[in-house]
Structure 1
């Protein structure tokens, strides 16, 4: 059985895990989870009690949630491809540091903006949330620009940190609180990743368009069928 990644639409942070799977090149399937309807439903919560994406069901039927855990799981299989590093090495520490920043400071900076958008905040509440979110997003971009330090990729060479970055960085189009061109290193990285075949594949998958990957994609699978595989693996 191939691993199955349960990815959220529209524009879930699971995008980065799709890119990572394509870069890894091993067989996998995808299962589309609509947000917020399906992701909060009883069926999906049998996989992930928190009701969030991404979730990865491994080839032996184990379930892993949270982007950091999934990316580190995939990274252990992609060390020879330069996607990650052996645990205990300086490279592994640097990768986890970058992933940690992306997962906390960068991802979380958008939280007030998503809340204002998704909960229909208006008036003073909306203005306060957007002002707070804008300040957090600007600081996260500035910090990440400094961390990049003129390199082509977040860690110098392409790793899974870059896959996670692109899934979050695109959220600026929904909120329009920063101009990425004010951070030229991040803008170059964003453009480099947007031209990557795996990123273009992930965009097509999210849009529900016919998509041909360059990795190990073996097609989509419905949630109910995937849950049946969990039962068989149990």
Structure 2
């Protein structure tokens, strides 16, 4: 079957997986998962028991969860275009290192702010969470700004799946408003450059449910129940082969 990416709205980090799939240029479909209602439902937990997006149903009916794993899945299929690199090479190690930093440090810096957004609390708790988040976000921005330096992309002269993942997380800076990205000129340059990319514009349009044209391999949306049925059928076909 054609792979299906389950992406979360609003403002899910799965945005980056859409960008990466567009860059890959191979056929894929999307299944829109509303958060928190649908993502925590029993129907979606058949896809991912953790109840989080993104998740990817592969052409063989296997389920891949967690952004880092999905980015590596996409990267392995985009080696010819340098979106990813062969495992065991120095380039792969650098890419994996950057994905891990984005996943564990840059993403994690926003966790207190998302908790503040998603859960009711008193004014004191809100103030503590916001200040804790601000400090973490400032530190992560300063670190990544220094790591990027004057390179055009996170790893050098060519974009990789790491840049796609960054595009999905970096927009949270504007969403939460605790730091000014302009204070980190290298990150600001990369972010602005990404906003002009057709794949990033497409992903924004997909989230907004606007009429947008794919520059990659987008083959349409599929409802959750249909996606699950196709996934099971692909598994059965694989086992019968």
Q: Please, what TM-score do these two structures have when normalized by structure 1?
A: 0.99
**In structure 2, C-alpha distance between the alignment counterparts of 1:58 and 1:151, rounded to whole Å:** 33
Alpha-carbon offset, residue 120 of structure 1: 2.6
Is residue 2:152 matched to residue 1:123? no
SS at match of 2:60: coil
Indicate the residue corresponding to 2:191 in structure 1. 190
Is residue 2:23 matched to residue 1:9? no
Alpha-carbon offset, residue 121 of structure 1: 2.6
SS at match of 1:31: strand
Indicate the residue corresponding to 1:148 in structure 2. 148
Give deviations 1:107-162, integer Å, cap 9, x for gaps.
00000001011113331100000000000000000000011011111001211100
Alpha-carbon offset, residue 231 of structure 1: 2.0
After the TM superposition, which parts of structure 1 deviate over 2 Å for at least 4 consecutive aligned residues? none
**In structure 2, C-alpha distance between the alignment counterparts of 1:225 and 1:9, rounded to whole Å:** 19
Indicate the residue corresponding to 1:97 in structure 2. 97
Q: Over aligned residues, Cα RMSD in angstroms?
A: 0.7
SS at match of 2:32: strand
**In structure 1, C-alpha distance between the alignment counterparts of 2:59 and 2:234, rounded to whole Å:** 9
Indicate the residue corresponding to 1:74 in structure 2. 74
Matches within 5 A, 1:132-143: 132-143=132-143
Q: Please, what TM-score do these two structures have when normalized by structure 2?
A: 0.96
Larger deviation: 197-206 or 170-179? 170-179
**In structure 1, C-alpha distance between the alignment counterparts of 2:39 and 2:116, rounded to whole Å:** 20
Is residue 2:175 matched to residue 1:174? yes
Question: Where do 5+ consecutive residues of structure 1 fail to align?
Answer: none
SS at match of 2:146: helix
SS at match of 2:107: helix
**In structure 1, C-alpha distance between the alignment counterparts of 2:198 and 2:120, rounded to whole Å:** 36
Alpha-carbon offset, residue 58 of structure 1: 0.3
Question: Where do 5+ consecutive residues of structure 2 fail to align?
Answer: 236-241
Alpha-carbon offset, residue 82 of structure 1: 1.1
**In structure 2, C-alpha distance between the alignment counterparts of 1:120 and 1:154, rounded to whole Å:** 37
**In structure 2, C-alpha distance between the alignment counterparts of 1:203 and 1:18, rounded to whole Å:** 10
Matches within 5 A, 1:11-30: 11-30=11-30
Indicate the residue corresponding to 1:63 in structure 2. 63
SS at match of 1:29: strand
Indicate the residue corresponding to 1:53 in structure 2. 53
**In structure 2, C-alpha distance between the alignment counterparts of 1:145 and 1:111, rounded to whole Å:** 20
**In structure 2, C-alpha distance between the alignment counterparts of 1:118 and 1:39, rounded to whole Å:** 14
SS at match of 2:105: helix
**In structure 2, C-alpha distance between the alignment counterparts of 1:184 and 1:122, rounded to whole Å:** 35
**In structure 1, C-alpha distance between the alignment counterparts of 2:119 and 2:60, rounded to whole Å:** 39
SS at match of 2:5: strand
